[in-house]
Structure 1
Amino acid sequence: MTYKADHGDLKVGKLKEMDKEIKKVKQWLHLEGHTTDGVFYSRFSDGGINITKLEDQILAMRTRRILSLRVSGDPTTNTLVRKDASKREVERAWKALTGSLPRSSVDKLNIQEISSRSIKEREFSKWAKQDWQGKGIACFRSDPVSNTWLANRSKHGLSESEFILALKIRTRTFPPTNLQGKKPSLPLCRLCKSGPESVGHITCACKNLKTNRRRHNNICQFLFRLAKENGWCAKSEPVLISAEGKMGRPDLVLWRTGTVLMIDVAVCMETDQGTLQAMALHKVQKYQPFKGAVYRLDPSIRKVQVWGFPVGARGKWHHLNNDLLREITRKSAKGIMHIAARLSKLALFGSIKICKAFIQGM
């Protein structure tokens, strides 16, 4: 289709009509009409569903071809191209694609700036700048682990309705919200009446859905099994007493050959790029005072490490979690990525189940 549209010299008006038809995918997916275009046009690895925007892609293909021919080694080709496509036309196309006029002469432009990838990255950047639907989206850029479920929903065990819910969770359009203006008007949660009815509140804070929030426990159980499979002894929620007499219960304590790993898991809404890092640090600071209690358990213990293990409620994977997985499993980078993707999906799928429970509870 793109070949015919390009070489058939399809006009911009017709391409816009075709894009309008393609965007009916919103209706097919039962998404809100105000759902950001960014989730459709962004790459899978950035958190979108990788739909082509024909108006931009065809214009970019034509412009790249013209720019390449303008600097070809054949004088006749140069002359014909410059006659057929003026400098002003190229500049207009460049501005339409990048948002600004060329910063250098037309013949010195870098065509990679209007590559398909660059165009999709600009769509993602627009999405990430949105006050509501773009909140926290920047952290999903170029993250195949956190976005692994987007390219093939059935392969990852998502039904159609669950895939739709996952998109709504990612774009923060669940539950349906009045998005007039920069700050949406949020009513009180219809279940607990104690917080705004947002996807963050529903998936992480609603008191009435506390029993449905099993993501944390599922991740703990996964890490417990993973540790046992790799030769670690493991105990869930041991009671530890610090030197000051305070009590702590980390989610997991693993030990093997003189090394102890104290782990505390958290699932939280990714509101910006620092959310998970801050949570990991908080967990380490919380359980650091209990290292002495672990050393006192056994004189053969030589090293105690404290780990915060945060995972995003929308599936964001904290890359520093890889260090702990490597410590537990000694697997290759590819093996670690496979485990990370499973844990990322555990968190996201747990959020989907919570949203289903919210719908049923209304």
Structure 2
Amino acid sequence: MDDIKLYAKSERDIDSLIHTTRLYSNDIGMSFGLEKCSRMVTKRGKVVRTEGIELPEGNIADIEDSYKYLGIPQANGNHEEAARKAATTKYLQRVRQVLRSQLNGKNKIRAINTYALPVIRYPAGVIGWPKEEIEATDIKTRKLLTMHGGFHPKSSTLRLYAKRKEGGRGLVSVSTTVQDETRNIHEYITKMAPTDSVLSEYLRQQKPKKEEEGEEPSWKDRLLHGMYHRQIAEVADIQKSYQWLDKAGLKDSTEALIMAAQEQALSTRSIEAGVYHTKQDPRCRLCKDAPETIQHITAGCKMLAGKAYMERHNKVAGIVYRNICAEYGLEVPRSKWETPPRVVENDRAKILWDFQIQTDKMVVANQPDIVVVDKQKKTAVVIDVAVPNDSNIRKKEHEKLEKYQGLREELERMWRVKVTVVPVVIGALGAVTPKLGEWLQQIPGTTSEISVQKSAVLGTAKILCRTLKLPGLW
């Protein structure tokens, strides 16, 4: 420890302590940094000016106004307000610096937690921090996020501070930081008080704090913000449905847009008419047939089905197709925008893309997205992709299996191979069924859940931006 603070009852005693400290420092090979040393003498609460103290190395002058000890301003008075102001200013400066960077959404939040918040964490618990200032700083943080497109103004603030694995953004609030540090210091003082008279006296003088009753509210319980979570709770694998937040590496603006859509925070015509009680026609601006809800825009509008939904569908199917081609050594499409050829083949396998298969017996569903025939193993895999509303993923998965049973039987009879039907179903806002991983493992090559989930989410973000014509950032 090289930062030492000495206390004494008189000017003579403090000078003696300084000389003693200097002798010990010299014995262990340390010396005073005189430019950082200072002395303050007070009598009856008022600072007395002196000429300082002369040492062989030089003079230790009196404190002019205040000094910093371990980074916190101190003097003969209360400088907590100055310390709070300096810490808050530095914190917000670092938040702006992070938000202007090119980091993805997850890493921006992580940078705020590990680069900006320590500025608040360091003095927290040592100096008093009024609740109003803490809340104001959290509000300023959210405003900065909104200004940089990283948080929708009507999104759930509770979800912003929830863990990513639980469907949140993972931001740590200033309020939580101050509370944690204050509690940790208090626990330490309580533990050490029996062996330290100063800490014991401090505890004796402290007023007992009222314990907060009840658990913290959850965004999942909110009427609008939690609607999506309640809808997918029974049909989806919740943990995997939110894994795109942790693994996809999306921009913060894309994360904010998808989460705002899940929380019904985007201003669709149905929301404007039903929630904000405007005179807006609640019907869809494109098809005019159904209420314009997020679910309708992302997977239910007939005007978007021909191009927008098909483009999103083909992006997801394209990921599966490219992985299959790589597995069998076939030519992989050069870009994700390139439409794959109807048939590619080598001595190991044949792959059909959106190919209408002729069968002896009439089959209604004979044009799956992808068919893979392994010539060596004498097997075939029929793959069909769907991106429905998130609450319908389990139902759609079952429909795909039933739909191609007739084709499966015909192919087994005609081609004399073992045929497997594999549905790849991803919710428009990222929900996945518990069996998605098992289905993907039955497809040749290596296709991860997060890759197809990310593709579906990005496709939905594009549809929302185009349809709602969001002004500026929102």
Given that 2:152 and 2:257 are in contact with CA atoms closer than 8 Å, whether structure 1 keeps it comes out as: no
Structure 2 CA distance for aligned equivalents of residues 278 and 50 of structure 1 = 32
Q: 2:136 aligns with which of 17, 20, 33?
A: 17
Match of 1:313 in 2: 428
Q: 2:371 aligns with which of 234, 253, 266?
A: 253
Unaligned runs of 5+ in 2: 1-119, 329-348
Match of 1:108 in 2: none
Q: Which amino acid aligns with 1:197?
A: E
Q: 1:204 aligns with which of 299, 303, 307?
A: 299
SS at match of 1:15: helix
Q: 2:244 aligns with which of 121, 130, 146?
A: 146
Match of 2:50 in 1: none
Match of 1:5 in 2: 124
Shift of 1:261: 1.5
Match of 2:101 in 1: none
Q: Which amino acid aligns with 1:328?
A: I
What do residues 152-172 of structure 1 show as CA deviations (whole Å, max 9, x unaligned)?
62xxxx8x5x55533433433
SS at match of 2:211: helix
Q: 2:465 aligns with which of 331, 351, 356?
A: 356
Shift of 1:188: 0.5
Given that 1:209 and 1:358 are in contact with CA atoms closer than 8 Å, whether structure 2 keeps it comes out as: no
Unaligned runs of 5+ in 1: 101-121
Q: Which amino acid aligns with 1:204?
A: A
Given that 1:66 and 1:81 are in contact with CA atoms closer than 8 Å, whether structure 2 keeps it comes out as: no
Match of 1:174 in 2: 266
Alignment of 1:29-68 (within 5 A): 29=148, 33-67=153-187
Structure 1 CA distance for aligned equivalents of residues 445 and 288 of structure 2 = 47
What do residues 261-309 of structure 1 show as CA deviations (whole Å, max 9, x unaligned)?
12221102224xxx4333222321222333211201222x1x3222221
Shift of 1:22: 1.7
TM-score of the aligned structures, taking structure 2 as reference length = 0.57
Shift of 1:360: 5.4
What do residues 313-341 of structure 1 show as CA deviations (whole Å, max 9, x unaligned)?
1133445322233333565xxxx5xx332
Q: Which has the higher contact order (CA 8 A, sep 6+)?
A: 1
Shift of 1:150: 7.2
Q: 2:443 aligns with which of 309, 314, 328?
A: 328
Shift of 1:344: 1.5
What do residues 23-53 of structure 1 show as CA deviations (whole Å, max 9, x unaligned)?
2146415665432113421233334332222
Q: 1:284 aligns with which of 401, 412, 425?
A: 401
Task: Quote the sequence identity (%).
Answer: 19
Given that 2:248 and 2:454 are in contact with CA atoms closer than 8 Å, whether structure 1 keeps it comes out as: no
Q: Which amino acid aligns with 2:381?
A: L
Structure 2 CA distance for aligned equivalents of residues 44 and 174 of structure 1 = 21
**Quick check: 1:227 aligned with 2:305?**
no
131-140 vs 206-215, greater mean Cα deviation: 131-140
Match of 1:135 in 2: 227
Q: For this pair of structures, how many residues does the alignment match? A: 315
Given that 2:361 and 2:410 are in contact with CA atoms closer than 8 Å, whether structure 1 keeps it comes out as: no
**Quick check: 1:193 aligned with 2:288?**
yes
CA distance 1:341–1:81, shift in 2 (3 Å):
farther
Q: Which amino acid aligns with 2:142?
A: K
Given that 2:393 and 2:426 are in contact with CA atoms closer than 8 Å, whether structure 1 keeps it comes out as: yes
Q: Which amino acid aligns with 1:307?
A: V
Aligned-pair Cα RMSD in Å:
3.7
TM-score of the aligned structures, taking structure 1 as reference length = 0.72
SS at match of 1:197: coil
Shift of 1:181: 6.0
Given that 1:170 and 1:314 are in contact with CA atoms closer than 8 Å, whether structure 2 keeps it comes out as: yes
CA distance 1:27–1:351, shift in 2 (3 Å):
same
Match of 2:450 in 1: 341
CA distance 1:229–1:203, shift in 2 (3 Å):
same
Given that 1:234 and 1:253 are in contact with CA atoms closer than 8 Å, whether structure 2 keeps it comes out as: yes
SS at match of 2:400: helix
Given that 2:424 and 2:436 are in contact with CA atoms closer than 8 Å, whether structure 1 keeps it comes out as: yes
What do residues 76-128 of structure 1 show as CA deviations (whole Å, max 9, x unaligned)?
36966864667x62x614x3xxx24xxxxxxxxxxxxxxxxxxxxx66xx222
SS at match of 2:463: helix
Given that 1:39 and 1:171 are in contact with CA atoms closer than 8 Å, whether structure 2 keeps it comes out as: no
Structure 2 CA distance for aligned equivalents of residues 263 and 76 of structure 1 = 71
Question: Which of these two proteins has the greater Rg computed from alpha carbons?
Answer: 2
Given that 1:189 and 1:196 are in contact with CA atoms closer than 8 Å, whether structure 2 keeps it comes out as: yes
132-141 vs 72-81, greater mean Cα deviation: 72-81
Structure 2 CA distance for aligned equivalents of residues 179 and 36 of structure 1 = 21
CA distance 1:15–1:279, shift in 2 (3 Å):
same
